Amino acid sequence: MRRALVAGGSGFVGSHLCDRLIDENYEVVILDSLVTGRKKNITHLIEKGVQFIEGNIADDLSYLKGPFDEIYNMASPASPVDFKTMPIYILETSGQGHKNLLELGKRTGAKVLFASSSEVYGDAEKHPQKEDYFGNVNCAGERGCYDEAKRFGEALSMAYKREHGVDVRIVRIFNTYGPRMRPDDGRVIPNFFSQVIQGKSLTIYGDGKQTRSLCYVTDLVDGIFKLMQSNCSEPVNIGNPFETTILDIADSVQRVCGSKNELIFQELPENDPKLRKPDISKASSLLSWKPQYSLKDGLEKTYEYFRAELTQ
Protein backbone atom coordinates (compact mmCIF):
# COMPACT_ATOMS: atom_id res chain seq x y z
CA MET A 1 0.00 0.00 0.00
CA ARG A 2 1.37 3.43 -0.94
CA ARG A 3 1.56 6.08 1.79
CA ALA A 4 0.90 9.77 1.13
CA LEU A 5 1.23 12.91 3.21
CA VAL A 6 -1.23 15.62 2.22
CA ALA A 7 -0.33 19.02 3.66
CA GLY A 8 -3.40 21.23 3.54
CA GLY A 9 -5.51 18.08 3.38
CA SER A 10 -8.49 19.57 5.20
CA GLY A 11 -8.81 22.47 2.77
CA PHE A 12 -11.11 22.68 -0.24
CA VAL A 13 -8.86 21.06 -2.87
CA GLY A 14 -6.78 19.06 -0.37
CA SER A 15 -9.78 17.22 1.07
CA HIS A 16 -10.99 16.15 -2.39
CA LEU A 17 -7.47 14.95 -3.15
CA CYS A 18 -7.52 12.85 0.04
CA ASP A 19 -10.83 11.30 -1.08
CA ARG A 20 -9.22 10.34 -4.37
CA LEU A 21 -6.14 8.86 -2.69
CA ILE A 22 -8.33 6.77 -0.38
CA ASP A 23 -10.27 5.55 -3.45
CA GLU A 24 -6.91 4.62 -4.97
CA ASN A 25 -6.16 2.58 -1.83
CA TYR A 26 -3.47 4.81 -0.30
CA GLU A 27 -2.72 5.18 3.37
CA VAL A 28 -3.17 8.93 3.87
CA VAL A 29 -1.77 11.23 6.56
CA ILE A 30 -3.27 14.71 6.67
CA LEU A 31 -1.31 17.66 8.02
CA ASP A 32 -3.17 20.96 8.27
CA SER A 33 -2.87 24.11 10.38
CA LEU A 34 -6.66 24.71 10.12
CA VAL A 35 -5.99 28.37 9.36
CA THR A 36 -8.22 28.16 6.28
CA GLY A 37 -8.87 24.41 6.14
CA ARG A 38 -11.83 22.97 8.04
CA LYS A 39 -11.94 19.73 9.98
CA LYS A 40 -15.50 19.11 8.81
CA ASN A 41 -14.13 18.57 5.28
CA ILE A 42 -12.39 15.41 6.48
CA THR A 43 -14.61 14.12 9.31
CA HIS A 44 -15.68 11.25 7.04
CA LEU A 45 -12.01 10.34 6.49
CA ILE A 46 -11.05 10.58 10.17
CA GLU A 47 -13.99 8.24 10.91
CA LYS A 48 -12.47 5.79 8.42
CA GLY A 49 -9.19 5.88 10.38
CA VAL A 50 -7.21 8.44 8.35
CA GLN A 51 -4.58 10.11 10.55
CA PHE A 52 -5.01 13.86 11.04
CA ILE A 53 -2.22 16.02 12.47
CA GLU A 54 -2.90 19.65 13.31
CA GLY A 55 0.30 21.51 12.47
CA ASN A 56 1.93 24.17 10.37
CA ILE A 57 4.32 23.04 7.60
CA ALA A 58 6.49 26.08 8.33
CA ASP A 59 7.29 24.63 11.80
CA ASP A 60 9.87 21.89 12.47
CA LEU A 61 8.60 18.66 10.84
CA SER A 62 11.16 16.25 12.32
CA TYR A 63 8.29 14.53 14.16
CA LEU A 64 7.05 13.16 10.80
CA LYS A 65 8.74 9.82 10.49
CA GLY A 66 7.67 8.37 7.17
CA PRO A 67 7.98 6.30 5.13
CA PHE A 68 6.15 8.35 2.52
CA ASP A 69 5.91 7.56 -1.18
CA GLU A 70 4.23 10.83 -2.10
CA ILE A 71 3.97 14.26 -0.47
CA TYR A 72 1.37 16.71 -1.74
CA ASN A 73 1.78 20.34 -0.70
CA MET A 74 -1.75 21.73 -0.96
CA ALA A 75 -1.26 24.02 2.03
CA SER A 76 -1.84 27.73 1.44
CA PRO A 77 -4.56 30.30 1.89
CA ALA A 78 -5.65 30.99 -1.69
CA SER A 79 -8.40 33.60 -1.74
CA PRO A 80 -7.68 37.23 -2.67
CA VAL A 81 -9.36 38.11 0.66
CA ASP A 82 -6.56 36.21 2.45
CA PHE A 83 -3.96 38.20 0.51
CA LYS A 84 -5.04 41.26 2.51
CA THR A 85 -5.25 39.63 5.94
CA MET A 86 -2.31 37.19 6.04
CA PRO A 87 0.30 38.03 3.41
CA ILE A 88 3.28 37.01 5.59
CA TYR A 89 1.73 33.66 6.48
CA ILE A 90 1.12 33.01 2.75
CA LEU A 91 4.78 33.73 1.92
CA GLU A 92 5.98 31.57 4.81
CA THR A 93 3.79 28.65 3.74
CA SER A 94 5.32 28.32 0.27
CA GLY A 95 8.75 29.40 1.55
CA GLN A 96 9.84 27.76 4.82
CA GLY A 97 6.80 25.44 4.70
CA HIS A 98 7.54 24.06 1.26
CA LYS A 99 11.26 23.82 2.10
CA ASN A 100 10.39 21.64 5.08
CA LEU A 101 8.34 19.32 2.87
CA LEU A 102 11.13 19.12 0.28
CA GLU A 103 13.55 18.23 3.10
CA LEU A 104 11.09 15.51 4.18
CA GLY A 105 11.04 14.29 0.59
CA LYS A 106 14.83 14.22 0.55
CA ARG A 107 14.91 12.33 3.86
CA THR A 108 12.25 9.74 2.97
CA GLY A 109 12.74 9.46 -0.81
CA ALA A 110 9.16 10.59 -1.45
CA LYS A 111 8.05 12.48 -4.53
CA VAL A 112 6.98 16.04 -3.64
CA LEU A 113 4.20 17.86 -5.49
CA PHE A 114 3.80 21.62 -5.16
CA ALA A 115 0.37 23.15 -5.72
CA SER A 116 1.31 26.21 -7.72
CA SER A 117 -1.13 28.54 -9.39
CA SER A 118 -2.09 30.38 -12.55
CA GLU A 119 -1.19 33.44 -10.43
CA VAL A 120 2.44 32.85 -11.47
CA TYR A 121 1.33 34.38 -14.81
CA GLY A 122 0.00 37.49 -13.01
CA ASP A 123 -2.03 39.88 -15.16
CA ALA A 124 -1.06 37.86 -18.24
CA GLU A 125 -0.13 39.56 -21.49
CA LYS A 126 -0.31 36.27 -23.38
CA HIS A 127 -3.55 34.43 -23.88
CA PRO A 128 -4.26 31.60 -23.29
CA GLN A 129 -1.48 30.98 -20.77
CA LYS A 130 1.04 28.31 -21.71
CA GLU A 131 3.67 26.90 -19.35
CA ASP A 132 6.52 28.61 -21.22
CA TYR A 133 5.08 32.10 -20.56
CA PHE A 134 7.08 33.79 -17.77
CA GLY A 135 4.26 36.02 -16.54
CA ASN A 136 3.54 39.62 -15.61
CA VAL A 137 3.54 39.94 -11.82
CA ASN A 138 3.62 43.07 -9.66
CA CYS A 139 5.68 41.70 -6.77
CA ALA A 140 4.95 44.72 -4.57
CA GLY A 141 1.18 44.78 -5.20
CA GLU A 142 -1.51 43.28 -2.97
CA ARG A 143 -1.51 39.97 -4.87
CA GLY A 144 2.31 39.88 -4.81
CA CYS A 145 2.41 37.83 -1.59
CA TYR A 146 0.59 34.94 -3.27
CA ASP A 147 2.05 35.28 -6.77
CA GLU A 148 5.62 35.46 -5.51
CA ALA A 149 5.03 32.70 -2.93
CA LYS A 150 3.94 30.39 -5.74
CA ARG A 151 6.81 31.47 -7.99
CA PHE A 152 9.26 30.91 -5.12
CA GLY A 153 7.75 27.49 -4.36
CA GLU A 154 8.30 26.47 -7.98
CA ALA A 155 11.90 27.76 -7.94
CA LEU A 156 12.57 25.97 -4.65
CA SER A 157 11.15 22.71 -6.02
CA MET A 158 13.44 22.87 -9.05
CA ALA A 159 16.42 23.79 -6.84
CA TYR A 160 15.81 20.68 -4.70
CA LYS A 161 15.58 18.57 -7.84
CA ARG A 162 18.82 20.00 -9.26
CA GLU A 163 20.84 20.09 -6.04
CA HIS A 164 19.49 17.04 -4.18
CA GLY A 165 17.73 14.96 -6.83
CA VAL A 166 14.33 15.20 -5.13
CA ASP A 167 11.63 13.96 -7.50
CA VAL A 168 9.34 17.00 -7.74
CA ARG A 169 6.05 17.81 -9.46
CA ILE A 170 4.60 21.28 -10.03
CA VAL A 171 0.93 21.79 -10.85
CA ARG A 172 -0.28 25.24 -11.91
CA ILE A 173 -3.86 25.29 -10.73
CA PHE A 174 -6.37 27.56 -12.49
CA ASN A 175 -9.64 28.74 -10.92
CA THR A 176 -11.38 25.79 -9.31
CA TYR A 177 -14.77 25.48 -7.63
CA GLY A 178 -17.03 22.93 -6.02
CA PRO A 179 -18.32 21.59 -2.70
CA ARG A 180 -16.32 22.39 0.47
CA MET A 181 -15.40 25.93 -0.52
CA ARG A 182 -15.93 28.21 2.46
CA PRO A 183 -19.06 30.31 1.89
CA ASP A 184 -17.21 33.35 3.27
CA ASP A 185 -13.97 32.71 1.42
CA GLY A 186 -14.49 35.78 -0.79
CA ARG A 187 -13.92 34.19 -4.17
CA VAL A 188 -16.38 34.63 -6.98
CA ILE A 189 -18.25 31.31 -6.78
CA PRO A 190 -18.80 31.27 -2.97
CA ASN A 191 -19.78 34.95 -3.11
CA PHE A 192 -22.34 34.52 -5.89
CA PHE A 193 -23.95 31.41 -4.35
CA SER A 194 -24.05 32.94 -0.85
CA GLN A 195 -25.55 36.16 -2.23
CA VAL A 196 -28.23 34.34 -4.25
CA ILE A 197 -29.17 32.04 -1.36
CA GLN A 198 -29.36 34.98 1.08
CA GLY A 199 -31.41 37.09 -1.38
CA LYS A 200 -28.67 39.72 -1.74
CA SER A 201 -27.35 41.54 -4.81
CA LEU A 202 -24.47 39.91 -6.65
CA THR A 203 -21.23 41.89 -6.36
CA ILE A 204 -19.49 42.39 -9.71
CA TYR A 205 -16.01 43.86 -9.43
CA GLY A 206 -15.13 46.27 -12.22
CA ASP A 207 -17.29 45.98 -15.34
CA GLY A 208 -17.48 42.18 -15.06
CA LYS A 209 -15.92 41.73 -18.50
CA GLN A 210 -12.74 40.18 -17.10
CA THR A 211 -12.59 36.45 -17.77
CA ARG A 212 -11.89 33.29 -15.80
CA SER A 213 -12.01 29.60 -16.76
CA LEU A 214 -13.57 27.49 -14.03
CA CYS A 215 -12.62 23.88 -13.35
CA TYR A 216 -14.73 21.54 -11.23
CA VAL A 217 -12.72 20.26 -8.28
CA THR A 218 -12.77 16.51 -9.03
CA ASP A 219 -11.47 17.22 -12.55
CA LEU A 220 -8.59 19.17 -11.04
CA VAL A 221 -7.83 16.38 -8.56
CA ASP A 222 -7.76 13.85 -11.40
CA GLY A 223 -5.12 15.97 -13.15
CA ILE A 224 -3.07 16.33 -9.94
CA PHE A 225 -3.15 12.59 -9.31
CA LYS A 226 -2.11 11.80 -12.90
CA LEU A 227 0.71 14.35 -12.73
CA MET A 228 2.10 12.72 -9.58
CA GLN A 229 2.10 9.34 -11.38
CA SER A 230 3.91 10.80 -14.42
CA ASN A 231 7.64 11.46 -14.59
CA CYS A 232 7.31 15.19 -15.41
CA SER A 233 9.08 17.59 -13.04
CA GLU A 234 8.32 20.67 -15.13
CA PRO A 235 5.26 22.84 -14.35
CA VAL A 236 1.97 21.64 -15.85
CA ASN A 237 -1.24 23.70 -16.15
CA ILE A 238 -4.39 22.02 -14.88
CA GLY A 239 -7.64 23.87 -15.47
CA ASN A 240 -10.72 24.00 -17.64
CA PRO A 241 -10.14 26.02 -20.82
CA PHE A 242 -13.83 27.00 -21.09
CA GLU A 243 -13.52 30.79 -20.67
CA THR A 244 -16.34 33.05 -19.45
CA THR A 245 -16.70 36.63 -18.28
CA ILE A 246 -17.63 37.30 -14.66
CA LEU A 247 -20.99 38.62 -15.90
CA ASP A 248 -21.59 35.28 -17.64
CA ILE A 249 -20.67 33.42 -14.45
CA ALA A 250 -23.21 35.53 -12.52
CA ASP A 251 -25.79 34.64 -15.14
CA SER A 252 -24.96 30.91 -15.04
CA VAL A 253 -25.19 30.85 -11.23
CA GLN A 254 -28.58 32.61 -11.36
CA ARG A 255 -29.88 30.16 -13.96
CA VAL A 256 -28.82 27.17 -11.88
CA CYS A 257 -30.49 28.68 -8.80
CA GLY A 258 -33.57 29.92 -10.67
CA SER A 259 -33.03 33.45 -9.30
CA LYS A 260 -32.88 36.94 -10.74
CA ASN A 261 -31.11 38.96 -8.07
CA GLU A 262 -29.78 42.42 -8.88
CA LEU A 263 -26.13 43.00 -9.78
CA ILE A 264 -24.15 45.72 -8.04
CA PHE A 265 -20.89 46.97 -9.48
CA GLN A 266 -17.94 47.56 -7.15
CA GLU A 267 -14.35 48.65 -7.55
CA LEU A 268 -11.99 46.20 -9.28
CA PRO A 269 -9.26 44.95 -6.89
CA GLU A 270 -5.68 46.00 -7.62
CA ASN A 271 -3.91 43.95 -10.35
CA ASP A 272 -6.98 41.78 -10.92
CA PRO A 273 -6.05 39.72 -14.02
CA LYS A 274 -8.13 40.74 -17.06
CA LEU A 275 -8.04 37.47 -18.97
CA ARG A 276 -7.33 33.96 -17.76
CA LYS A 277 -7.52 30.70 -19.65
CA PRO A 278 -5.19 27.72 -19.44
CA ASP A 279 -3.53 26.17 -22.44
CA ILE A 280 -3.83 22.50 -21.44
CA SER A 281 -2.07 20.91 -24.41
CA LYS A 282 0.80 19.77 -22.14
CA ALA A 283 -1.53 18.04 -19.63
CA SER A 284 -3.49 16.57 -22.48
CA SER A 285 -0.50 15.06 -24.31
CA LEU A 286 1.56 14.14 -21.24
CA LEU A 287 -1.17 12.89 -18.88
CA SER A 288 -4.03 12.16 -21.29
CA TRP A 289 -6.03 14.47 -19.03
CA LYS A 290 -8.95 16.67 -19.85
CA PRO A 291 -11.79 18.03 -17.69
CA GLN A 292 -15.10 16.15 -17.77
CA TYR A 293 -17.56 18.54 -16.07
CA SER A 294 -19.45 21.23 -17.97
CA LEU A 295 -19.88 24.52 -16.10
CA LYS A 296 -23.62 23.82 -15.74
CA ASP A 297 -23.12 20.34 -14.22
CA GLY A 298 -20.43 21.60 -11.86
CA LEU A 299 -22.50 24.58 -10.75
CA GLU A 300 -25.51 22.34 -10.05
CA LYS A 301 -23.46 20.16 -7.72
CA THR A 302 -21.95 23.23 -6.09
CA TYR A 303 -25.39 24.80 -5.59
CA GLU A 304 -26.58 21.67 -3.71
CA TYR A 305 -23.60 22.02 -1.39
CA PHE A 306 -24.00 25.75 -0.68
CA ARG A 307 -27.74 25.39 -0.13
CA ALA A 308 -27.15 22.69 2.48
CA GLU A 309 -24.29 24.66 4.04
CA LEU A 310 -26.18 27.96 4.32
CA THR A 311 -29.64 26.77 5.22
CA GLN A 312 -28.85 24.19 7.89
Cα angle for residues 263, 265, 266 (degrees, 5° grid): 140
The minimum distance between CB 208 and ligand UDP, in angstroms, equals 6
Cα angle for residues 185, 188, 191 (degrees, 5° grid): 60
> Footprint of ligand UDP on residues 69-88 (CB under 6 A)?
80
Which residue, 72 or 174, is less far from ligand UDP as judged by CB?
174
Length of the chain: 312
Which are the contacts of 220, defined by CB distance < 8 A and separation ≥ 6? 13, 16, 173, 176, 238, 239
Q: Report if residue 269 touches ligand UDP, rule: CB under 6 A.
A: yes
Which residue, 175 or 240, is less far from ligand UDP as judged by CB?
175
> Footprint of ligand UDP on residues 225-264 (CB under 6 A)?
246
In the bound complex, which residue of the shown chain has the CB atom lying closest to ligand UDP? Answer: 187
Q: For this structure, is 146 an active site residue? A: yes
Binding flags for ligand UDP, 203-222, as an x/- string (CB under 6 A): xxx----x-x----------
Q: Which of 146, 160, 177, 216 is catalytic?
A: 146
Rounded-to-integer distance, Cα 193 and Cα 185, Å: 12
Sole window of 94-102, 198-206, 215-223, 255-263 interacting with ligand UDP (rule: CB under 6 A)? 198-206
112 and 101 in contact (C-beta within 8 Å)?
A: yes
The minimum distance between CB 238 and ligand UDP, in angstroms, equals 15
Which residue, 100 or 116, is less far from ligand UDP as judged by CB?
116
The minimum distance between CB 205 and ligand UDP, in angstroms, equals 3
Please pick, from the candidates 175, 213, 218, 237, the single residue that binds ligand UDP as defined by CB under 6 A: 175
Which residue, 234 or 248, is less far from ligand UDP as judged by CB?
248
Which residue, 93 or 191, is less far from ligand UDP as judged by CB?
191
Rounded-to-integer distance, Cα 37 and Cα 180, Å: 10
Which residue, 53 or 247, is less far from ligand UDP as judged by CB?
247
223 and 13 in contact (C-beta within 8 Å)?
A: no
Which are the contacts of 221, defined by CB distance < 8 A and separation ≥ 6? 13, 16, 17, 19, 20
DSSP 21-89: HHHTT-EEEEEE--SS--GGGTHHHHHTT-EEEE--TTS--TT-----SEEEE--S--SHHHHHH-HHH
- Which residues does residue 28 pair with via DSSP β-bridges, in sequence order? 4
- Give the dihedral of Cα atoms 4, 30, 186, 35; nearest 10 deg: -140
- Which residues does residue 227 pair with via DSSP β-bridges, in sequence order? none
Number of residues that bind ligand UDP (CB under 6 A): 14
Please pick, from the candidates 96, 133, 272, 301, the single residue that binds ligand UDP as defined by CB under 6 A: 272
Active site residues: 146
Residues of this chain that interact with ligand UDP (CB under 6 A) are: 80, 175, 187-188, 191, 203-205, 210, 212, 246, 268-269, 272
